[in-house]
Structure 1
Amino acid sequence: MALKQLLNGSQPYKFALIEDTVDEFSFVLLRAFINESLCNGKEVHVFCFDQLPADFERNLVVQKSVRLYIHDFFTDSAEWLRNTGSQKVVNNKNIFSLIHKSSADSSGQLVIIDSLSSFISSYGLEEVYRQIHQSIYFDSFHKSNFVRQLVSVIYKETILHYDTTITLLKHLASVWIAVLPYRRNSTGKVIVKILHKKANGKLLKQVEECYIDSAGLFQSKKVEITKEPSSKFDDNELPSQLTTFNLGLKEEEKLARSKLVLPYLKTENSGGSIYYEPDENDDWDEEDPDDDLDV
């Protein structure tokens, strides 16, 4: 499955963007990305914009790891409270520089941003785009800000001019995962749509069903979404009490309508001849205009 391959690293990517609503099912996806990366020996850096680091770590339900770093941008995202310290970040600097300061190994890293919506609200869309693009794709010039893989969530309801924002971010992302609305069933399974732009130029599109099994493990499988059949309009289904007018037709009225021949539909059976009936306003000339020609 495409999602499992993204989680275990068999399908490489640079930036995975998860598009979700306030239902926040995406946290289960974030937890799956974190668990798989830690099991594979990668460092994981989490930038908390939407909740306290302690709350985020408690909801992870994973074993504590020295390779898990959680950075607090919820308490003081604008740096109003911090005056000193090695972890200080100024708004006009790249926040991913924290990875270089705290990381012990840059060979394999996963960076999680719990809410790209809050990141944009604090820094602005232009600055967020610049920082992500610089950290992911300009590694040869900005090694201190180098990010191997980035996963982030954006919520539709919390962004102004959302269509413009998501268009720019989808252009930057190599993987787009959309949690489809109203697809959660009674078993808690959720349908997601995956769009993966591979390095060789190929485009992978897939729809998968995600859920947590009885052992607490993340599972997914490919599914096919069938379109609901379109209902045809039936005259007989018109509500009789909608208006004081009679909206329907009786059988004899339908028969009379079918026998009615409209004037522009009259046809002749004489082999397609053209008939012209001049009226009193026509300037009709009986003489042949070519009489003076020797033909």
Structure 2
Amino acid sequence: MLLDIMQTNEVGGLVIIQDTVDCCGRQLLKGFIHCALKRDEVVHVLGFEVCENEFRGGLDSKFTQGLYFHDGYTDPLGWTECPPLTVHHFTPQDINTCLSQSEQLKTVTLVVDSLSWILRHHSPAIVCQRLQELRRGGALRSVLLLLHSDMHQQGIVGSLCHLATAVILVAPGMSGQHTVAKTTRRTKSGRVTREEECFSVSEDLTITIEAQSSCSGKTLPEPEEYEADPAANLTFNLRLSEVEREAKEKLSLPFVFSQEKKSALLHPRPGAGRILYEPDDNDDFDQEDPDDDLDV
């Protein structure tokens, strides 16, 4: 699945690479960039953590003509008079200005290294909103983010991953020679697929899958929701036993007449009382004006 995500540049895709202090994900990030440049795509990098020379290290110079590095490493907070890029420039307007430096006819991929720098100076709600605006703007084909997940609260990481079409969590392997990628991919239909793979990144940034786990490629079922029993901890019993249920069914309600009682009421027996009424001369049976005798 990891290679499939790299080779298939999904329109409107948002890929998040999560790493921790135990395992850095920048080499995998550069592997994605290397693959995009080989497809003749334009890649814009918002770099806040390493300088441009260090970031370009390992990338093939034959393909780096389509790589645009926007320097947020030199002055990320804008302390100098004219900083090239700061964390406050993380707006759709400023990013579109950066994207205008490249050819308009080519596919554009935006890379943020790293989003943790942005989250330190913007609220998570603002970051999520601006990521959605970038995806819907039409200028970008895909967005690739590096996120240091151990620097943020789990709720913030979960909110960002909810926006992503693919989340790749990198962790050190058991042997120490390979890196484990735990990939979660969400399709447009809502289907979620998880896969765990061992991979390695060579010096020329070629990614090789070394091994896959036994559950690779399987769609994991959603966890069943547990419904709590509202009558579990009550001091009285809301359920009926078999004896109580039989007694309830035999009980006749006071205002529900049986068939025999209905027949007795509708068909009076001989000798039953009757009401005889003779109309008076002043009785008014005009239904159109029942108050005619009141002289109003």
Using structure 2 for the length normalisation, give the TM-score. 0.64
- Deviation for aligned residue 1:183: 2.3
SS at match of 1:66: helix
SS at match of 1:77: coil
Cα-to-partner distance string for 1:4-61 (whole Å, 9 max, x where unaligned): 1111126666100111112443112111111111110100111111111222112x33
* Other-structure match for 1:276: none
1:177-216 matches, cutoff 5 A:
177-180=168-171, 182-186=172-176, 188-212=177-201
Cα distance, 1:174–1:68 mapped onto 2, change above 3 Å? same
Structure 2 CA distance, aligned partners of 1:36 and 1:212? 12
Q: Which amino acid counterpart does residue 15 of structure 1 have in structure 2?
A: L
Q: Which amino acid counterpart does residue 101 of structure 1 have in structure 2?
A: S
SS at match of 1:63: coil
SS at match of 2:65: coil
Q: Which amino acid counterpart does residue 142 of structure 2 have in structure 1?
A: Q
Contact 1:13 1:175 in 2 (8 A): no
- Deviation for aligned residue 1:184: 4.7
Q: Does 1:48 align with 2:51?
A: no
* Other-structure match for 1:170: 161
Identical columns (%): 19
The one of 53, 60, 63 aligned to 2:61: 63
SS at match of 1:28: helix
Cα-to-partner distance string for 1:60-85 (whole Å, 9 max, x where unaligned): 33225221000111222233324488
Q: Which moved more, 1:19-28 or 1:32-41?
A: 19-28
Work out which of the two has the higher radius of gyration on C-alpha atoms and give 1 or 2.
2
Cα distance, 1:99–1:224 mapped onto 2, change above 3 Å? same
Q: Unaligned stretches of 5+ in structure 1?
A: 227-295
- Deviation for aligned residue 1:126: 2.6
- Deviation for aligned residue 1:213: 5.1
- Deviation for aligned residue 1:108: 0.9
Contact 1:193 1:206 in 2 (8 A): yes
Contact 1:45 1:69 in 2 (8 A): yes
* Other-structure match for 1:73: 72
Structure 1 CA distance, aligned partners of 2:27 and 2:83? 35
* Other-structure match for 1:151: 144
Contact 1:16 1:174 in 2 (8 A): yes
SS at match of 2:60: coil
Contact 1:77 1:122 in 2 (8 A): no
* Other-structure match for 2:232: none
Structure 1 CA distance, aligned partners of 2:83 and 2:173? 48
Q: Which amino acid counterpart does residue 173 of structure 2 have in structure 1?
A: R
Runs of 4+ displaced beyond 6 Å: none
Q: Which amino acid counterpart does residue 149 of structure 1 have in structure 2?
A: S
SS at match of 1:62: coil
SS at match of 1:126: helix
Structure 2 CA distance, aligned partners of 1:89 and 1:113? 11
SS at match of 2:75: coil
Q: Unaligned stretches of 5+ in structure 2?
A: 216-296
Cα distance, 1:113–1:148 mapped onto 2, change above 3 Å? same
* Other-structure match for 1:32: 31
- Deviation for aligned residue 1:155: 1.0
SS at match of 2:120: helix
Contact 1:178 1:193 in 2 (8 A): yes
Q: Does 1:124 align with 2:114?
A: no
Q: Which amino acid counterpart does residue 72 of structure 1 have in structure 2?
A: D
* Other-structure match for 1:108: 107
Structure 2 CA distance, aligned partners of 1:133 and 1:44? 19
Using structure 1 for the length normalisation, give the TM-score. 0.64
Cα distance, 1:89–1:114 mapped onto 2, change above 3 Å? closer
Structure 1 CA distance, aligned partners of 2:162 and 2:4? 22
Q: Does 1:19 align with 2:18?
A: yes
* Other-structure match for 2:96: 97
Q: Which amino acid counterpart does residue 195 of structure 1 have in structure 2?
A: T
